Amino acid sequence: MNYIPQSDADRKEMLKAIGISSGDINELFKGIPESLKASSFDLPAGKSEFEVEKYIKQLAKKNASELITFVGGGFYDHYIPAAIDSIVSRSEFYTAYTPYQPEASQGTLQAIYEYQSAICRLTGMEASNASLYDGGTALYEAAMMAIRVTGRNKIIMDGGVNPIYRKMLYSYTTNLSIEFIETPVTHGQSNRGEIEKYLDDKTAAVILQNPNFFGAIDDHTDIVDVCHKFGALVVESVYPISLGVLKSPGEMGIDIATGEGQSLGIPLSFGGPYLGFMAVKKKFVRKMPGRIVGITHDDELRRGFVLTLQTREQHIRREKATSNICSNEALCALRALIYMCLIGKDGLKKVAQLCMDKCEYAKQKLETIKGVEVKRSSPTFNEFIIRLPKNPNEIIGKLIEKKIAAGFPLGRYYKEMDCYMLVAVTEKRTKQEIALFAEALEDALWN
């Protein structure tokens, strides 16, 4: 039974029992600098459940959550069917732990297996895992996987790869002996000549992105062919919705495909949770991190699902282990699976086509504004670059006041692009909203 001291004498006695002979509770905190200590521990009186709920709702209203958003950069405001929330809110899903015990986890295991199957069909690849955290860490895992497969330590990375992902990759590998080379994009496309210039027998992988961070669409088949001649793998980060209309990584011959699964039915939610996916050629499956669920049959030919090829160190692998990815991302994977099942193959094509069409409509509207230049050097999916006559940060602030999230200022990651902004358009944006955006942008620039 827990004992709660009822008097000063009791408290002093307890302090003495843990080595505070003076009986002064402040002795417990003497190692904390004065500048970091709280000035007072006087807390307000407790509130009722009703009062707390009302207070929290008042705080939540201060968030600008009803913005019309044209921000992308890897995370997108797509429509989420209501059925997704209804299904994943079932207690057997949202309380599910890592399915170590197959006899008690058949439902969760089957959901992960179906998710893997859907990712393979989406990407055109042969095998998929589950449990990666987000698109950036998935790209890091792909780079490390390529190093394990090839035994080499040189990575060539296209300049069109998401700069947020690149930052994450460099952070994760800062203490590792890996040589990184970045090649520039040319008119929005991967620079073939620059990539080939650095390819040699020390190259573990070439990392690409399609569509790239600037929204430009590319077919990397020719790059893949050249890389394979040098024995290097090709990693491609992809935007899953775009695969409704674009050539898949599998069709290009890509070795490892990764991406951010947030656009597959996962809300933005002020920064997470997200979902990283990875799909590979079957011959590399034993070097792939994370969980892989397989299907089997017992002696009576009854179907069952089990965790298989677990390459973590506590699963016998020891020094041959891959990353110890512990957190269970199954709930996010389930959302992605339900989205793909609900929307279907034809639905995904329609969503992707709507994104492209509305993107082109937005380009036409914005380029009529004085001083605004729409960059059209490459075909794009649902994002494109505009050049403004003023610093985008100032403009973005003005448009936020009008409940519009205008775009992503590129000067934050590219020093030579201080006047450029990345604009994203999803299927949720209406003609009226696009027109409102154009009108508000013109007003912010010239009034």
Give the single-character DSSP code of 238.
E
- If one counts every other C-beta atom within 10 angstroms of the C-beta of residue 291, the result is 26
Residue pLDDT, tens place only, 41-66: 778 889 999 999 999 999 988 876 78
Establish if 370 belongs to a structural domain: yes
Residue pLDDT, tens place only, 359-416: 999 999 999 999 999 999 999 999 999 999 999 999 999 999 999 999 999 999 998 8
Residue 261 and residue 396 in one domain: no
Point out the domain boundary residue: 287, 321, 339. Answer: 339
Find the length of the chain. 447
What's the Cα-to-Cα distance from 282 to each of 124, 317, 369, 406, rounded to whole Å?
12, 19, 51, 42
Residue 194 and residue 301 in one domain: yes
> Do residues 205 and 155 lie in contact, with contact meaning Cβ atoms separated by under 8 Å?
yes
pLDDT tier at 3 (50, 70, 90 boundaries)? low
Establish if 230 belongs to a structural domain: yes
Residue 148 and residue 293 in one domain: yes
Helix axes 330-366, 431-446, angle to 10 degrees: 60
d(CA 272, CA 263): 12
Establish if 46 belongs to a structural domain: no
Q: Which two tokens stand for residue 255?
A: 């070795």
Residue 302 and residue 381 in one domain: no
Point out the domain boundary residue: 339, 374, 400. Answer: 339
Domain residues for the domain of 429 are 68-76+345-446
Residue 352 and residue 330 in one domain: no
pLDDT tier at 1 (50, 70, 90 boundaries)? very low
Point out the domain boundary residue: 288, 307, 339. Answer: 339
The CATH number given to whatever domain includes residue 422 is 3.90.1150.10
In this structure, of 33-47, 171-185, 193-207, 212-226, the range with the lowest mean pLDDT score is 33-47
Could you tell me which residue, 96 or 219, shows the higher pLDDT?
A: 219
Instruction: State the greatest distance between any 2 C-alpha atoms of the chain, in Å, as a whole number.
Output: 80
Establish if 40 belongs to a structural domain: no
Average pLDDT, the chain: 92
Residue 282 and residue 410 in one domain: no
CA end-to-end distance (rounded Å), the chain: 70
- pLDDT reading at 335 higher than 60: yes
Q: How many structural domains are present in the chain?
A: 2
d(CA 276, CA 191): 27
Angle ∠(251,211,245) on CA atoms, nearest 5: 55
> Do residues 285 and 129 lie in contact, with contact meaning Cβ atoms separated by under 8 Å?
no
Establish if 34 belongs to a structural domain: no
What's the Cα-to-Cα distance from 241 to each of 48, 165, 247, 362, rounded to whole Å?
45, 19, 12, 19
| Cβ neighbours of residue 79 closer than 8 Å, sequence gap 6 or more | 351, 426, 427, 428
pLDDT tier at 4 (50, 70, 90 boundaries)? low
Q: Are strands 303-308 and 373-374 parallel, antiparallel or unpaired?
A: unpaired
Phi, psi for residue 178 in degrees, rounded to 5: -120, 130
Percent of the chain at pLDDT > 70 equals: 96
| Residue 316 confidence (pLDDT) | 57
Establish if 39 belongs to a structural domain: no
d(CA 160, CA 183): 9
Residue 299 and residue 358 in one domain: no
d(CA 201, CA 438): 50
Establish if 306 belongs to a structural domain: yes
Average pLDDT over residues 313-339: 78
The CATH number given to whatever domain includes residue 270 is 3.40.640.10
Percent of the chain at pLDDT > 90 equals: 74
pLDDT tier at 340 (50, 70, 90 boundaries)? very high
Establish if 29 belongs to a structural domain: no
| Residue 382 confidence (pLDDT) | 97
Average pLDDT over residues 420-431: 98
Residue 222 and residue 368 in one domain: no
Residue 177 and residue 270 in one domain: yes
Average pLDDT over residues 339-358: 98
